[in-house]
Amino acid sequence: MIESPNNEKIINYSKLKQKKYRDESSLFIVEGKHLVEEAKKNNLCVEEFILGENINEKAMRKLSNLDNVPTHLAVCKKMEEKEIHGNVLILDGVQDPGNLGTIIRSSVAFNIDTIILSLNTVDPYNDKVIRASEGMLFNINIIRGNLLEIIPKLNMDIYSTNVVNGKNLDEVEFKEPFALIVGNEGKGVSPEVQKLVNNNIYITMNNKCESLNVGVATSIILYEAERKIMHDK
Amino acid sequence: MIESPNNEKIINYSKLKQKKYRDESSLFIVEGKHLVEEAKKNNLCVEEFILGENINEKAMRKLSNLDNVPTHLAVCKKMEEKEIHGNVLILDGVQDPGNLGTIIRSSVAFNIDTIILSLNTVDPYNDKVIRASEGMLFNINIIRGNLLEIIPKLNMDIYSTNVVNGKNLDEVEFKEPFALIVGNEGKGVSPEVQKLVNNNIYITMNNKCESLNVGVATSIILYEAERKIMHDK
């Protein structure tokens, strides 16, 4: 039973709250029984902590990001990046952890196989991303890299979200595999990435509203793509 | 120029961070130039504070919910509740302020006219709701009340989100006006409310994923309803 927050292992693992240490060690933390189980199913669990069994509340609190200390917490190893395959979602600078988590959850729901994150997109192993993804993070291939190098090598239809020169989502025909690029919450897709793509999509909306939340816009397009692909089958 | 966080007016207005005082006074706070302008456009602004003009940083910090003190902040009066009209969205126990804000934003985008909040739904004048709504809060009629009394009086098609006995969204026909009910993040629509509705909708998804974020699910249904209604016109 670990009883001190100053235990050497606890001190080291607690550093995983910071991206820098997650990057160095390729480890991250998941909290809550449901997420720990999802991680175990995927053989990612390195060490599990159970309150009152092998750790006390003080030490658990040192590891946890939550206000209410969880009963279960696990230190996990990051997933391996697999080759790009299937339908691809590309995120160019998404900053909000909640948005990234929501996007990962919707991506699994609507049969995206690979998510490619630009180097300036928020870390998917951030605790808020993992929570918002409801553990769906473990069910999809996630890659991080330089979009300007990766996108030109993709051999599929590539769509970007952009009102300028865009085609109404309702009129877009999707066939598998496809790639969709969505951008930063405030700035959208960056101009350099935009140059690599010819197919722009926009979602028609009431003119009182300038734009949708990026997680919502992404999810609507993925829903619509999946709906059309299923109709064609 | 107000220079002290202990100024009586500042102390009183700072209480508006709490729902209790917002309810008592029918006032609330908006922060940031963009949102203050949206509030002014709608004649809701009671008193405006501009950093360096009529308030200093210390006093502004006392009013603000943000880590970075805003340049503009306004105390506003709540909007009047108008009669239920047009297309209606009903929220039964949505708890997360970010989700409510996102839902309000999407509701304006997809031509919902009235949002009805159950008594246990998060306060729409919570600062996080206002921010996530991107000011769209001011462009829609929002009512709070007892759903068990309100729903039976609605004279329109009423849909609920529920996998059990649900119809695939793709197959649902919408005609205006309609009402859609969505529920709590974890528990969905409450059983008492569910009893009042015959039309259930579900969104087909990959079976690895149990459910979508409530903001995403709501937005997809509203997008799809709007798309079908426009096609019929």
Domains of chain A, by residue range, sit at 8-77, 88-232
CB-based contact (8 Å) between A42 and chain B? no
Average pLDDT over residues A189-198: 94
The domain B8-77 belongs to what CATH superfamily? Ribosomal protein L30/S12 (3.30.1330.30)
- Taking an 8 Å cut-off on Cβ atoms, the answer to whether B110 and A206 are in contact is yes
pLDDT digits (tens, 9 = 90+) for B133-186: 999 999 999 999 999 999 999 999 999 998 777 899 999 999 999 999 999 999
Which CATH number is correct for A88-232, 3.40.1280.10, 3.40.190.170, 3.40.50.720, 3.40.140.10? 3.40.1280.10
pLDDT digits (tens, 9 = 90+) for A204-223: 999 999 899 999 999 999 99
Average pLDDT over residues A78-98: 97
Q: Which residues of A touch B110 (CB under 8 A)?
A: 205-206
Strands, sheet with B27-31, edge to edge from the N-terminal-most edge strand: B27-31, B72-77, B45-50
Minimum distance, in Å, between the CA of residue A101 and any CA atom of chain B: 10
Minimum distance, in Å, between the CA of residue B32 and any CA atom of chain A: 15
Q: Which residues of A touch B207 (CB under 8 A)?
A: none
Average pLDDT over residues A82-101: 97
Average pLDDT over residues A71-81: 97
CB-based contact (8 Å) between A219 and chain B? yes
CB-based contact (8 Å) between B202 and chain A? no
CB-based contact (8 Å) between A213 and chain B? yes
User: Rounded to an integer, what is the distance from CA A58 to the centroid of its chain?
Assistant: 31
The pLDDT score that the predictor gives to residue B165 is: 79
The pLDDT score that the predictor gives to residue A85 is: 97
- Taking an 8 Å cut-off on Cβ atoms, the answer to whether B110 and A210 are in contact is no
Distance separating alpha carbons of residues A172 and A25, to the nearest angstrom:
43
User: By the 8 A CB rule, do A110 and A226 touch?
Assistant: yes
Distance separating alpha carbons of residues B181 and B157, to the nearest angstrom:
11
| Nearest CA among B141, B137, B132 for reference residue B88 | B141
Mutate to test the interface with B, among A168, A220, A221, A231 (most CBs of B within 10 A): A220
The token duo for B60 is 């502004």
Average pLDDT value for chain A: 96
- Taking an 8 Å cut-off on Cβ atoms, the answer to whether A136 and B213 are in contact is no
Average pLDDT over residues A91-105: 97
Q: Residue A209 is nearest to which of B108, B206, B215, comparing CB atoms?
A: B108
CA closest to A216 among chain B residues: B216
- Taking an 8 Å cut-off on Cβ atoms, the answer to whether A219 and B210 are in contact is no
The torsion of the CA quartet A113, A118, A124, A126, rounded to 10 degrees, works out to: -170
The pLDDT score that the predictor gives to residue A232 is: 82
The pLDDT score that the predictor gives to residue B162 is: 81
Beta strand residue intervals within B39-177, DSSP E: 45-50, 72-77, 88-92, 114-117, 141-144, 157-161, 167-168
Q: Residue B110 is nearest to which of A106, A205, A230, comparing CB atoms?
A: A205
Average pLDDT over residues A85-102: 97
Mean pLDDT by 10 residues, chain B (233 residues): 95 97 97 95 96 96 96 97 97 97 98 98 97 95 98 96 86 95 95 94 94 97 96 82
Q: Residue A219 is nearest to which of B108, B206, B220, comparing CB atoms?
A: B220
Distance separating alpha carbons of residues A34 and B186, to the nearest angstrom:
13
The pLDDT score that the predictor gives to residue A162 is: 81
The pLDDT score that the predictor gives to residue A212 is: 96
The pLDDT score that the predictor gives to residue B66 is: 95
Residues 52 through 111 of chain B touching chain A, CB cutoff 8 Å? 98, 102, 105-106, 108-111
Q: Which residues of A touch B224 (CB under 8 A)?
A: 223
pLDDT digits (tens, 9 = 90+) for A132-184: 999 999 999 999 999 999 999 999 999 999 877 789 999 999 999 999 999 99
pTM: 0.95
User: By the 8 A CB rule, do A82 and A142 touch?
Assistant: no
Minimum distance, in Å, between the CA of residue B47 and any CA atom of chain A: 25
Residues 113 through 152 of chain A touching chain B, CB cutoff 8 Å? 132, 134, 136, 139
Angle, to 10 degrees, between the axis of helix B97-109 and the axis of helix A214-232?
A: 60
Q: Residue B216 is nearest to which of A170, A216, A230, comparing CB atoms?
A: A216
